[in-house]
Amino acid sequence: MLLQGKKLLITGVLTPQSLAFGVAEHAIAQGAEVILTGFGRAKSLTERSAKRLKPGTEVLELDVTNPAHFPALTEALRQKWGRVDGVLHAIAFAPEDALGGNFLNTPWESVQTAFRISAFSVKELAVACAPLMTNGGSIVALDFDNRQAWPIYDWMGVCKAAMEATVRYLARDLGPKGIRVNALAAGPLATVAAKGIPGFKALAQYWGKQAPLGWSDKDSHDHVAKTACALLSDWLSSTTGEMIHVDGGYHAVGAPPVETVETPAEGVQANPTPKDG
């Protein structure tokens, strides 16, 4: 199996609708051992989801805004497993006033919160797990491609762009240790997090019209989860610092297909034939 014997830390599981839950589910099916993280009141949701994955699946405390939690995570993983082979970073958050067309008015305090949770935490998680990745390994960060500006996404888009840069720098610094670091850029998916983004439904509906392979915000979770498992495996052993797209091909096409061709104006010849001389 693709992940036989691998020990994977997976963050970001809340409910079975979470994309991270799908990754964990496929990873277990492919032979991996999995530990989840959660924190605060939401940890009970993670623990409930863990039982649906596999009885006995452990949930460790990790609040990425609490610096003390990272060394505690390292020690807990050391005692439980002694090593880690792969990590999924699936954590992102932006306050309401950092989304939905409020870009010019968002205060620094909200931007700071979004950046710490959505971008800086990738570095913190990598630093916490790298000492345990003694045989090399793979770190995968869930992403939404932000090489261009999007409607409604605002400061979360800026944070995702920062996360993409962070992935490249981590790939540079951790590569000599045999640790690969990649971003997985998915198209819009119906998750708990997506419900908090104003205008998400409109974006998701438009996406399927442009993506050459089509796209469903409800049915494409499986495609993303399988790709994440491939990245966490040994099969992409020389791929690092990349942004891997699982978006139906949307990123490769500049605009939706032209549905109709306008009729040339009267007296104008369409595709005129060149004349000699």
Encode pLDDT of 12-40 as tens digits: 999 999 999 999 999 999 999 999 999 99
Asked whether residue 167 carries a pLDDT value surpassing 90, the answer given is yes
- Split at pLDDT 50, 70, 90, the class of 188 is confident
CA-to-CA dists, residue 17 to 36, 49, 91, 221, 266, angstroms: 15, 10, 15, 9, 55
Exactly one of 7, 43, 160, 250 is catalytic; name it. 160
8-state DSSP, 118: I
The single residue of 6, 7, 153, 250 carrying the catalytic annotation is 153
> Would residue 209 show up in a list of annotated catalytic residues for this protein?
no
Angle between helices 43-53 and 19-29 (to 10 degrees): 30
According to the model, what pLDDT value does residue 250 have? 86
Q: Rounded CA gap, 106 and 195, in Å? A: 20
Q: What is the pLDDT of residue 72?
A: 98
The pTM of the full predicted model, rounded to 2 decimals, is 0.89
Active site residue 153: yes
CA-to-CA dists, residue 54 to 9, 21, 32, 191, angstroms: 15, 11, 11, 21
pLDDT of 141 reads 98
Q: Which residue has the higher pLDDT, 275 or 164?
A: 164
**CB proximity list for 22: less than 8 A, separation 6 or greater:** 221, 222, 224, 225
Q: Residue type for 143, please? A: D
- For the residues 111-138, what does the mean pLDDT come to? 98
- Of residues 231 and 222, the one with the higher pLDDT is 231
Phi and psi dihedrals of 188, rounded to 5? -65, 130
Tokens of 179: 């640790």
Task: Please give the pLDDT value at position 270.
Answer: 46
pLDDT at 272 over 50: no
